[in-house]
Amino acid sequence: MKTIKKIFLRWEWLLILLTVGVFFFFNDLNPKAYTLPKLMGQTRVYMVDVGFMALGALLILLLGDIDISVASTAGLAATIMGITYRAGAPFWLALIAAVAVGAVCGLINGLLVTGFKELFPMIITLSTQTIYRGINYIILKDKSVGSFPEWFGNLGYDTVRDAWFAEEMPGWVAGSPEWIQWIYNFVGDFPVMLLCLLAVFPFFFVWIHKTPGGKRIFATGENIVTARYSGIRTDRMKITLFTLNGILAAVGGIFLAARTGAVKYTHANGYEMQAIAVAVLGGASTAGGKGSVVGILLSLILMTCLKNGLNIVYNDSFIMNLSVGALLILVVLLPNIGQYISDYWRVLKRRKEAAQKASPK
């Protein structure tokens, strides 16, 4: 009985419910523009680059820290990629350089956070945010760097159909029942970028939820002192996770560059807050020790559905952000209010019982 309750009283159900609600609401409003295939195409814009950064944000939030330098890291990594390629290096080298820069940025954050424990990660990453963005600004000035190889530009736009499927539907699909055709089309609509993101999720899920290493992250976030006394090398873990976060930010920045086609010094500006918003909506808490990979995926899907719908209806980024903000606060606030009410009822009940006991019959 208790396990059933546990399964159904999960945060993820709320997200799924909201996603379904949002989808059908906008689908009803705009049956032509808001369909599943078109939504799949929009995941490139709303899901992929934020998704990588949100995974990184989840790792940091699990520790109870916060990193607001990810967007600057992403920008710097993409810039390094651009200038390395422009300098004549092969493109794979440029990609490695970008990821390495991301790792170094993350490593610096991690070393500073573990080296100066009395300072808050927020303050440290606030200053490194400015520093990374500043380096980016010095490198690029007010120009932009672009003209990447063709396949890289295609990565930003291609769907699975464009990339791998034949021009016409193969005979075995055309001859098979309708649902197989539907699946064929559905898979064909997947952007390649989205596949790259989705490929990462199983690894993270297994690592964070199913291995001892993942459990150690939760333990550290829950209570760092207890974790250290029970033999977890918390400093090393923090440095590793911050480095990994930097790498994820760099990957996000690279995918964003694939989509935009050029890198300016404002590359990925404001993404740090989006990433944190996605992670929090996915059930992570800035107090640490809470969050799930599945939650991140679901909240990414919810964000995509909501943002795309609002974009179609209002065509206005401010309204879009307003709704995201309201959703963020409501989703976090509602369980607290529920808790408050249930606590209040319990107190009332106890009082009644106590009064009955006290009064002689």
Partner 1 sequence: MNGSKKRKTSFLEMFIKNRELGLIAILIILIGVVTLRTPAFLTGEKMLFIVEDTATMAILAFGMMCVMLVGSIDISISGIMAFSAMAAGIIMKNNISVTEVTQIVDGVEKIVKVRESVPLIYLLLIAMAVGAGCGLVNGLIIAYGNVLPIVTTLGMQYIIYGLAHIISDGQAVYKKDMSAAFTEFTRDFSFLGINSKTWIMLLVFAVMFIFITFFRSGRHLYAVGSNPEAAEMRGINVRRSKLLAHVIMGALAGLAGMMFASHDNKITQDLKTGYEMYVIAACVIGGVSVTGGAGKITGVLLGALTIGVINNGLPMLRLTGNAEFWKKLIQGLLILAAVVSNAAIQRTIQKRNLKGRNL
Among 15, 81, 135, 254, binds partner 1 (CB under 8 A): 135
Is residue 124 a contact residue for partner 1 (CB under 8 A)?
yes
Cα–Cα distances (Å) from 113 to 14, 66, 125, in that order, read: 34, 10, 9
Cα–Cα distances (Å) from 305 to 37, 52, 94, in that order, read: 12, 18, 34
The span of 111-119, 147-155, 218-226, 293-301 binding partner 1 (CB under 8 A) equals 111-119
Smallest separation (angstroms) from partner 1 to the CB of 136 = 9
Q: Identify the bridge partners of residue 191 per DSSP, sorted by sequence position.
A: 159
The span of 22-30, 46-54, 117-125, 175-183 binding partner 1 (CB under 8 A) equals 117-125
Among 285, 294, 312, 313, binds partner 1 (CB under 8 A): 285
Is residue 333 a contact residue for partner 1 (CB under 8 A)?
yes
Is residue 332 a contact residue for partner 1 (CB under 8 A)?
yes
Of 233, 284, 355, 267, which Cα lies nearest the Cα of 57?
284
The span of 119-127, 173-181, 185-193, 247-255 binding partner 1 (CB under 8 A) equals 119-127
Rg, the chain, Cα only: 23
Smallest separation (angstroms) from partner 1 to the CB of 336 = 5
Is residue 229 a contact residue for partner 1 (CB under 8 A)?
no
Binding flags for partner 1, 141-180, as an x/- string (CB under 8 A): x---------------------------------------
At 115, list the tokens. 């080296």
State which residue, 33 or 273, has the beta carbon closest to partner 1.
273
Tokens 């009332």 belong to residue: 348
Number of residues that bind partner 1 (CB under 8 A): 45
Contact 276/66 with Cβ under 8 angstroms?
yes
Q: Phi first, then psi: give them for residue 268, nearest 5 degrees.
A: 65, 25
The span of 12-20, 91-99, 134-142, 293-301 binding partner 1 (CB under 8 A) equals 134-142
Contact 218/230 with Cβ under 8 angstroms?
no
Cα–Cα distances (Å) from 325 to 191, 204, 243, 312, 328, in that order, read: 27, 27, 29, 18, 5
At 321, list the tokens. 């952000």
Task: Return the C-alpha torsion angle 220, 221, 226, 230, nearest 10.
Answer: -20
Of 93, 101, 114, 42, which Cα lies nearest the Cα of 72?
101
Q: Which amino acid is at 304?
A: T
Cα–Cα distances (Å) from 300 to 50, 142, 180, in that order, read: 8, 32, 27
DSSP secondary structure of 318-334: HHHHHHHHHHHHHHHHH
State which residue, 336 or 359, has the beta carbon closest to partner 1.
336
State which residue, 125 or 234, has the beta carbon closest to partner 1.
125
Among 315, 336, 356, 359, binds partner 1 (CB under 8 A): 336
Binding flags for partner 1, 58-87, as an x/- string (CB under 8 A): --------x---------------------
State which residue, 192 or 277, has the beta carbon closest to partner 1.
277
Is residue 116 a contact residue for partner 1 (CB under 8 A)?
yes
The span of 16-24, 136-144, 219-227, 295-303 binding partner 1 (CB under 8 A) equals 136-144
Is residue 324 a contact residue for partner 1 (CB under 8 A)?
yes
Which residues in this chain contact partner 1 in the complex, by CB under 8 A?
66, 112, 116, 118-120, 122-124, 126-135, 137-138, 141, 273, 276-277, 280, 285-287, 316, 318-319, 321-326, 328-329, 332-333, 336-337, 340
